Amino acid sequence: MAAAAPPPPPTPAPEAPTGLPDSESTPVGYPLFSRIRLATPNDVPHIHKMIHQMAVFERLADHCVATESSLSATLFNHPPFQSFTVFLLEVSPNPLPNIASPNFIPIERIMQLDLPVIDPEAEIFKSGSNDVVVAGFVLFFPNYPTFLAKPGLYVEDLFVRECYRRKGMGKILLSAVAAQAVKMGYGRVEWVVLDWNVNAIKFYEEMGAKILTERRNCRLTGEALEAYRDAI
Catalytic residues: 204
DSSP element (H, E) containing 199: helix 198-206
For residue 63, count CB atoms less than 10 angstroms from its CB and return exposed for 0-12, middle for 13-18, buried for 19 or more. exposed
DSSP element (H, E) containing 36: strand 30-38
Indicate which single residue of 7, 136, 151, 170 sits in contact with a copy of itself (rule: CB under 8 A): 151
Indicate the residue among 115 and 144 with the shorter CB distance to a copy of itself.
144
Closest CA to 5 of 43, 47, 51: 51
Decide: is 2 part of the binding site for a copy of itself (CB under 8 A). Answer: yes
Min dist. Cβ of residue 177 to a copy of itself (A): 9
Closest CA to 132 of 95, 167, 164: 95
Decide: is 145 part of the binding site for a copy of itself (CB under 8 A). Answer: yes
Closest CA to 115 of 14, 10, 8, 2: 14
Footprint of a copy of itself on residues 172-231 (CB under 8 A)? Answer: 172, 175-176, 178-179, 181-183, 187-196, 201, 204, 207-221, 224-231
Min dist. Cβ of residue 38 to a copy of itself (A): 14
Decide: is 16 part of the binding site for a copy of itself (CB under 8 A). Answer: no
Q: What are residue 144's DSSP bridge partners?
A: none
Decide: is 101 part of the binding site for a copy of itself (CB under 8 A). Answer: no
Decide: is 4 part of the binding site for a copy of itself (CB under 8 A). Answer: yes
Q: How far apart (Å, rounded) are the C-alpha atoms in residues 169 and 7?
A: 9
Size of the site for a copy of itself (CB under 8 A): 83
Indicate the residue among 24 and 195 with the shorter CB distance to a copy of itself.
195
Footprint of a copy of itself on residues 106-125 (CB under 8 A)? Answer: 107
Q: 80: alpha, beta or left, given left = phi > 0 and alpha = psi -120 to 50?
A: beta
Indicate the residue among 68 and 114 with the shorter CB distance to a copy of itself.
68
